């Protein structure tokens, strides 16, 4: 008769040992997570820089094809500075912006053909008269998410701008804007040069846009030197679906145009102003979505009582700075610590000043 060996009790983890293992795993995750996030952000920044490079090359190809850069926006019926309310009212029939005109040069030929932005304005324009019946079908194609216009570090560019005031009410986001100097947008329309009268380091200096309303410069117009002029800079996508910032097909400051820096309330990229309700980007309808976190927490400040799209600062979700494209096609990462004067001179093409600040 065979004897059965007594069964040994199975060895296992005690509760204390299990808790220790869990604690070790948690510590390792805590140590590894920042490293993973840094690697991810580094990859995102490189991808963003690649977008800046592609758009910069597209702008150069456009200039080579047409003899000048595309207009930042198109509002040919504008009467002058005295009518700036009409000029920057996005409920009126403004035309397609630089990004829409650039589609064939960023491998988006089918979309360009469908949108047919060159059909704008569609009827003869009498200056000083807001047209009716102008060709606006291009707007129906502004809801397309295009990777070349989106920075992967900004998760808010997935949420469309859905303001019913701006037909058809569905606009895709982007993260890049062409530069129009540091003055308010109506001051530099049609390529006008504006001498700044406000206090600050640029008082008495000439703000000269690279692109503006109804105007695209020639490469030869950049007398400050293409390596000293920013032609494209990053923008943030609004966190609210009523925030028009970072909309690639809207030809307005902070949507697809960068033009700020002339005053202390919006001096440099990613400034932390805005949470007082009276500082930051001057954009339409900010009172609909402004909240106390905008500014010092979000680096996405706006003027609470803003009723016009007159100026917008370059902003990003990259820690410490923004990506920009220079007129010579190179891409740089500018630190938030850049001084106001240097920033302003960099976004103006013919101010005649020597840049001495570090960037």
Q: Which residue has the higher pLDDT, 37 or 359?
A: 359
| Backbone Cα Rg of the chain | 25
In degrees to the nearest 10, what's the CA dihedral of 251, 252, 256, 262?
A: 140
| 90 pLDDT tier (thresholds 50, 70, 90) | confident
Q: Is residue 13 part of a domain?
A: no
Confidence bin at 3 (pLDDT 50/70/90)? low
323 backbone dihedrals φ, ψ, rounded to 5° = -85, 140
Average pLDDT over the chain reads: 89
Residues 6+ apart with CB under 8 A from 314: 177, 233, 234, 235, 258, 260, 269, 270, 322, 324
Listed in order, strand segments (DSSP E) in 159-244 are 176-179, 194-195, 206-207, 211-212, 215-216, 230-234
CA–CA–CA angle 152, 74, 89 (5° rounding): 85
Summarised one tens digit per residue, pLDDT across range 173-200 is 999 999 999 999 999 999 999 999 988 8
Give the model's pLDDT for residue 26: 81
Higher pLDDT, 205 or 124: 205
Query: What's the pLDDT at 98?
Result: 98
Q: What pTM was computed for the model? A: 0.88
pLDDT for residue 10 is more than 60: no
Tell whether 158 is covered by a domain: yes
Burial (CB < 10 A; 0-12, 13-18, 19+), residue 85, is exposed
Query: What is the arithmetic mean of pLDDT over 219-233?
Result: 96
Is 79 a member of any domain? yes
Model confidence at 2, pLDDT cuts 50, 70, 90, reads low
Q: Which two tokens stand for residue 25?
A: 């795993």
Count of structural domains, the chain: 1
Residue 92 lies in a domain: yes
Q: Is 7 within the bounds of a domain? A: no
Question: Can you give the pLDDT at residue 165?
Answer: 87
Q: Is the pLDDT of residue 262 over 80?
A: yes
For the cut 70, the answer to whether the pLDDT of residue 162 exceeds it is yes
Domain of residue 91, residue span: 22-346
Q: What is the pLDDT of residue 6?
A: 58
Across residues 2-6, what is the average pLDDT? 57
The side-by-side arrangement of strands in the sheet containing 321-326 is: 257-258, 176-179, 230-234, 321-326, 331-335
The answer to the question of residue 9 being in a domain is no
pLDDT over threshold 90, residue 261: yes
Highest mean pLDDT among 35-44, 227-236, 281-290: 227-236
Per the domain annotation, does 190 fall within a domain? yes
């Amino acid at each position: 008769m065979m004897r059965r060996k007594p069964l040994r009790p199975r060895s296992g983890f005690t509760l204390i040992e299990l808790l220790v293992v869990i604690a070790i795993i948690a510590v390792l995750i805590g140590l590894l997570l920042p490293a993973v996030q840094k690697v991810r952000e580094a990859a995102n920044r490189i991808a963003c820089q690649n977008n800046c490079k592609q758009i910069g090359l597209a702008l150069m190809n456009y200039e080579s094809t047409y003899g000048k850069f595309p207009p930042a926006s198109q509002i040919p019926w504008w009467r002058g500075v005295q009518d700036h309310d009409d000029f920057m009212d996005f409920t009126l029939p403004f035309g397609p912006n630089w990004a829409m005109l650039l589609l064939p040069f960023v491998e988006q030929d089918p979309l360009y053909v469908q949108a047919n932005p060159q059909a704008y304005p569609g009827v003869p324009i009498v200056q000083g008269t807001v047209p009716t019946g102008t060709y606006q079908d291009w707007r129906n194609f502004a809801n397309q998410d295009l990777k070349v216009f989106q920075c992967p570090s900004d998760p808010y560019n997935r949420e469309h701008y859905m303001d019913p005031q701006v037909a058809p009410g569905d606009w895709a986001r982007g993260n890049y804007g062409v530069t129009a100097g540091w003055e308010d947008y109506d001051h530099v329309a049609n390529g006008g040069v504006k001498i700044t009268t406000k206090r600050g380091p640029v008082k008495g200096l000439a703000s000269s846009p690279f692109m503006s309303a109804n105007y695209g410069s020639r490469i030869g117009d950049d007398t400050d030197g293409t390596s000293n002029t920013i032609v494209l800079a990053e923008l943030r996508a609004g966190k609210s679906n009523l925030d028009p910032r970072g909309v690639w097909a809207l030809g307005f400051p902070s949507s697809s145009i960068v033009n700020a820096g002339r005053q202390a309330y919006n001096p440099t990229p990613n400034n932390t102003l805005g949470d007082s309700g009276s500082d930051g980007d001057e954009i339409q309808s900010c009172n609909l979505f402004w909240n106390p976190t905008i500014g010092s927490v979000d680096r996405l400040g706006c003027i609470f009582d803003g009723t016009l799209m007159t100026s917008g600062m370059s902003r990003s979700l990259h820690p410490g700075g923004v990506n920009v494209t220079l007129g010579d096609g190179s891409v740089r990462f500018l630190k938030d610590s850049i001084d106001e004067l240097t920033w302003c001179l960099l976004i103006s093409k013919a101010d005649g000043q020597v840049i001495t600040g570090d960037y």
